[in-house]
Structure 1
Amino acid sequence: MENCTLYTHEVDMGKVLTRMRAHFDASALNVNGQEDNWESITVVSKKRRLRKGNTITITYRQRSVPGYTLEHSDEPIIVNLHGMYAFVQQIDAENQELKKLLLGKIPTVNTEIAIKAEPSFNGDLRSAVMDLAYELDAFFFSEGNSIFNTDVQGFWDKTGALLLDVNGHATATNLTVNIEAKYFDSQTPPSAEALERKARSLQQLQAMGVRSSAMLPAIVDETVAVIRTPEEVAKRVAILTAINGVAFGHLPPQDVISYLQKKQLWEHVTPDEKKFLQHPTEEEKTKATWKCESIWVLLWALGLMPELGYMTDLCNLDMVPEEVFPFRGLSGDLTPFFEKATTLRPAAAILDANDLYYRAHWSCVDARLKSEEAPVHPGVVYERHYALNWLINYRNQPWDSVTCDT
């Protein structure tokens, strides 16, 4: 078996199917999934005499939001691109200008297309793959195969010229970095309010001895942000505090399920939370204990805690006054809590906190990538950033799917 991967700024994967159909007739193609949203394509090249035809299988993954910059994210493709960027950086290239162009092209990648050949890329399949690379303005990463007639790991351009291998060699002389105009057009300039908030956050972090990046964009302002309603936030924190008892091993999960059902909250429990309560493992319990930080943030957003506190310290839920804590035992009454949890802090205050933790989170990720010690507590910052992103409806993501891009 042989492999190669194409990297492209294109997101229209209908082009892949179109190019394969230009090379092979319908009997040679097997498309898994819908035509306009396929999952995989299998192509069988022509059989020759008594030999079976060679086969390629094509799959892909994309960024959730296309773009041309490489921010920190937990998305698998973004994580892979960060690794690729770091890998290229450490290669001692003969052609340093070409290396810079490759480093400039990596952040523009929106789609990663994996191609597997059985047993190898024959002439028909090689021609189709090269045509596809040209159509998508893609570059290759390969650990060596019959397309490039080498067993050396490296990067090749859409014409098959070597951009950079692990030994620093290259045969290509140039590399074009294309970015679709719509990615620029879709981004409106930040408002004065957003820029002022960014400046305040950077000053505050600097005073704390936390280095962040002035290159990070400003977040949304009050005219754009859609803050969760007090009712949404109150229900979310009520659920989290009940589940907290299972996370720390204080309560049986089935009792908490019954409690949430009795309190008419079960329908608001997320799919991941239901899965946890039905079959909690020790590893998942440990992970769930971190949601104390989310509880802390949400109580603060409801105005039931005076401040978020330091980024270096774990929160202490024992400091929350009993009268404003939602969970009061399996037989407790939620009415007093919901009567108090009727308003949120001003949107400006919530956005200030989100912006600050967003920039602090970047510092933590940057420290991890450099194998350095973070200036604040990475776990605390991540969990609070998570809750704050949910509060401001970041990318309209539900609780289970919140991302903390930096």
Structure 2
Amino acid sequence: MNYFTIFASKNNIDDIEVKISDVFVKGFAIDKNDNEYVIKSKALFKKYKLIIRVMSEDSNPDYFANNIPGMMGYYDNIPFEDDNLKELVLTQISVLNTVIAIESEKEINEDQLQLFTNLLSSIGGIGFLPNGTLLDDEGIVIVYHDGLSGPSNFRPHACTRKVMGQEVTSEEGEQRKNNTIVYLKERAIPYTTSLPQLSPIEACQFKTQEDIARRAVALLIVIQFACDVAQGENVDESREFFVNMLRKYDVDNYLTSNERDFLHTSEPNGKEAINISWQYEAYWTLIWALGFVEKLDFPDEVCDCEYAIQVVSNYESFEQFYLQTTMRSQEEILDEADKIYRYHWACVDSRIKDQAAPAGMNESIVMERRRGLFWMIGHRSEEWDNMSMDT
């Protein structure tokens, strides 16, 4: 192993140079060039060199745009032993904005690993090993590369800038936020005023009616395949049938990359099949936006799956289906997105406190509805498979 990487969520990187100097103060010479540090040991017989590169979302925006979604996808696909831990890890990744990449010219030994762990503890964040194992800020394993849980009692950390700094404030957004809080108060659901506004309508990148309709049909079809996989049906026969359905409705291009991989792999993963099956709830928000569902009920019971299927199966082509859609207003969709955002915070807050979700909410339903609603409003331009779930 020649690499050790520290990922963190920080308001700025001004203090990192001091922290590097403190950790390598004894027995090392440090040369700095911009945000790259060359560290050479002074030992007579055990000389070695380290290169430490510091990157932030400000200094290297392309790195974060290209790598964080991939990191989200990587850990989303790992078969975590603990689904709750998986959500915590994905939440942490979604708010990362700083990287300290350490490269050693030789294999990293235990003494060096201890130094890197000291730097990790000083900076805060998570440590990433080349095999995919994650460490907390004390160097304790959060999760192993194969999804087994480590002994860490891990909780995500986000800097105030990452949570609040990108907020687009507006009178419209503040009014929407306040209306939701009034609604939550009436139902005795916990809330926090520090959770940001959602962007106003003019700052959102709403999906078109046709994009939502095609996404809904494609998603329903892959959900049906996932249900067959989860129930032990003949995978080859099921795949052939649903691939033909995608072609029939002309929506094959509206599968996500994860869905396409799942559909065409020779032995689909059963756990992934269950996760995709839960996306009935995300699909439900899409057909609500298209006018097939009268209202989004409180997220304490799963949607009507039989009706969800009939919404599409009643029609022989996408064109017939699309002609029956009636798009809801952007205001309605954004109102529901704001509400689900604050529902999710209440669920996470209760879970962290080892309490049941308030008012009988089902957090899995909340998360999938959030996926659908946030995708429709174009939140942060995030893709369906990698919608951040930070609260």
Query: Which interval holds the TM-score relative to the shorter structure?
Result: 0.5 to 0.7
- Distance change >3 Å, CA 396–CA 326, structure 1 → 2: same
More helix by share: 2
Out of 107, 117, 120, the position equivalent to 2:111 is 120
Deviation string, structure 1 residues 262-306 (Cα, Å, up to 9, x no partner): 543222211100011012221111111101101110000011211
Do the aligned partners of residues 258 and 53 (structure 1) sit closer, same or farther apart at CA in structure 2, a change above 3 Å counting?
farther
Cα distance in structure 1, aligned partners of 2:384 and 2:93: 25
Partner of residue 194 from structure 1, selected from 173, 177, 182: 173
Q: Look up the match of 2:333.
A: 350
Q: Percent identity?
A: 24
Q: What is the aligned partner in structure 2 of residue 383 from structure 1?
A: 368
TM-score, with length taken from structure 2: 0.64
Give how far 1:129 is off: 12
> Which residue type is aligned with residue 303 of structure 1?
G
**Aligned: 1:337 with 2:333:** no
In the other structure, the counterpart of 2:284 is 296
* CA drift at 1:53: 1.5
Counterpart contact for 1:55–1:118, Cα < 8 Å: no
- Deviations 1:38-90 (CA, angstroms, capped at 9, x unpaired): 9xx98654673xx242354647786769xxxxxxx958486389xxxxxxxxx
Matched with 1:285 is 273
Q: Deviations over 1:108-153 (max 9, x none)?
A: x84253658635359xx98x999xx8xxxx94469xxxxxxxxxx9
**In 1, distance between residues paired with 2:251 and 2:270?**
25
Which residue in 1 is equivalent to 2:300? 312
Find the residue that maps to 1:226 and give its secondary structure. Answer: coil
Q: 1:75 to 1:392 in 2, by over 3 A?
A: farther
Partner of 1:23: 30
| Contact 2:41–2:49, Cα closer than 8 Å, also in 1 | yes
Contact 2:5 2:99 in 1 (8 A): no
Report the CA distance between 1:347 and its aligned residue: 0.7
Given candidates 181, 190, 206, the residue that maps to 1:211 is: 190
Q: Aligned residue for 1:234?
A: 213
Shift of 1:261: 3.4
The count of residues paired between Structure 1 and Structure 2 equals 310
Distance of 1:154 and 1:378 partners within structure 2? 30
**C-alpha distance 286-195 of structure 1, shift in aligned 2 (>3 A):** same
Tell me how far apart the structure 1 counterparts of residues 215 and 175 of structure 2 sit (CA, whole Å).
31
Aligned equivalent of 1:274: 260
SS at match of 1:198: helix
* Matching residue of 2:386: 401
For structure 2, the residue ranges without an aligned partner over 5 or more in a row are: 58-63, 66-85, 126-136, 140-158
Tell me the SS of whatever aligns to 2:317: coil
Q: Is the 8 A contact 2:280 2:305 kept in 1?
A: yes
Q: 1:363 is aligned with what amino acid? A: A
SS in 2 for 1:381: helix
Please report how far the alpha carbon of residue 307 of structure 1 lies from its aligned counterpart in structure 2 after TM superposition: 0.7
Higher Rg of the two aligned structures:
1
Asked whether the 8 Å contact 1:235–1:268 carries over to 2, the reply is yes
SS of the residue corresponding to residue 348 of structure 2 reads helix
Alignment check: 8 A CA contact 1:55 1:119 kept: no
